[in-house]
């Protein structure tokens, strides 16, 4: 059975599509998947619709809720570039204490709670909170302004389609590649050193306290206490331009260096037009 629902709930500001569907399911006393199948009988997952929503599906869901397809797409990540998908978590990993609502039935999920490039709430500007330690807050304090610039660059790329000379989402992933530090560490400690440390040296001190660091270009969503370093690195490279890529390449060896070169070589070649990166761009 399909058709427009007799009663609909307005989406909350910044709410995720699957969350909105789930709140309707709670209102009607059915499962979220049953609610979704009211408009999309072939649906197999509510969560998948957030990333894989097609134009045809948006039209049908829009008819079910009595809103425009553009509104439905804005609740999902359907219009985000593919590069952004690696930065989108499967479940909420952070929240804004000011904007988080608990008085509307099932706690709603906001899109920003899944976005791994954010450190502040896009609605009120408050710092996000998560369940991880905050011991990096003081260490990374000097990079706070750069981190906010990096957050803006990533937001503009992921949400507005704005690209710079090198897509910010790609910069963020490249910075999580391993680097070779000097002097050389013990073999068992090489995993602690990422390219990011060549731009934001204080990250090495934070990772020295970790027992594991399961993050990489394939898994780039960092805990909040480390994330400002990555965002600052993005801002610094974006401002410094292609010459910085040549500098970073010198911190790598072997297959990692080859992969980095393949991703950046077209940009390194014209770097002479920019001149060397200036010192003020590195801080």
Q: Is residue 45 part of a domain?
A: yes
* First CA to last CA distance, the chain: 59
Q: Is residue 135 part of a domain?
A: no
In a domain, 200, yes or no: yes
Structural domain including 5 reads 1-79
How far are the Cα atoms of 52, 173, 256, 259 from residue 246, in angstroms, in the given order? Answer: 37, 17, 14, 13
- The domain total for the chain is 2
- Whether residues 261 and 165 share a domain: the answer is yes
Residue 154's CB: how many other CB atoms inside 10 A?
Answer: 25
DSSP state string for 121-178:
-TTT-PBPB-SS--TTTTTTGGGHHHHHHHHHHHHHHHHH----SS-HHHHHHHTTSB
* Chain-centroid distance, C-alpha 135: 21
CB proximity list for 82: less than 8 A, separation 6 or greater: none
252, part of any domain: yes
Rounded distance between C-alpha atoms, residue 248 and residue 199, angstroms: 8
pTM for this structure?
Answer: 0.89
Give the pLDDT confidence of 196-213 residue by residue, as tens digits.
999 999 999 898 888 888
pLDDT digits (tens, 9 = 90+) for 224-265: 999 999 999 999 999 999 889 989 999 998 898 999 988 888
Task: Give per-residue pLDDT as tens, 80-114.
Answer: 999 999 999 999 999 998 888 766 677 899 999 99
Task: Give the pLDDT of residue 282.
Answer: 45
Same domain, 276 and 170: yes
């Amino acid at each position: 059975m399909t058709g427009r629902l007799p009663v609909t709930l307005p989406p909350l500001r910044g709410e995720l599509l699957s969350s909105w569907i789930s709140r309707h399911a709670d209102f009607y006393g059915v499962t979220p998947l049953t609610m979704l199948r009211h408009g999309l009988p072939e649906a197999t997952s509510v969560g998948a619709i957030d990333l894989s929503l097609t134009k045809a599906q948006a039209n049908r869901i829009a008819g079910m809720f009595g809103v425009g397809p553009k509104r439905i797409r804005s609740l999902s990540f359907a219009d985000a570039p593919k590069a952004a998908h690696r930065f989108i978590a499967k479940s909420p990993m952070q929240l804004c204490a000011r904007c988080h609502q608990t008085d509307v039935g099932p706690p709603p999920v906001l899109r920003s709670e899944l976005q791994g490039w954010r450190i502040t709430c896009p609605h009120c500007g408050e710092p996000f909170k998560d369940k991880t330690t905050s011991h990096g807050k003081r260490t990374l304090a000097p990079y706070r302004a750069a981190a906010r610039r990096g957050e803006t660059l990533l937001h503009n790329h992921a949400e507005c389609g704005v690209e710079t000379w090198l897509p910010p989402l790609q910069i963020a992933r490249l910075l999580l590649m391993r680097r070779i530090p000097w002097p050389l560490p013990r073999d068992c400690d090489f995993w602690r050193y990422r390219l990011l440390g060549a731009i934001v040296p204080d990250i090495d001190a934070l990772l020295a306290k970790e027992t594991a660091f399961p993050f990489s270009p394939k898994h780039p969503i960092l805990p909040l206490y480390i994330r400002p370093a990555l965002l600052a690195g993005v801002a610094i490279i974006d401002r410094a331009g292609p010459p910085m890529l040549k500098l970073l390449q010198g911190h790598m060896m072997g297959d990692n260096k080859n992969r980095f070169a393949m991703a950046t070589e077209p940009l390194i070649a014209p770097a002479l037009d920019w001149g060397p990166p200036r010192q003020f761009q590195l801080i």
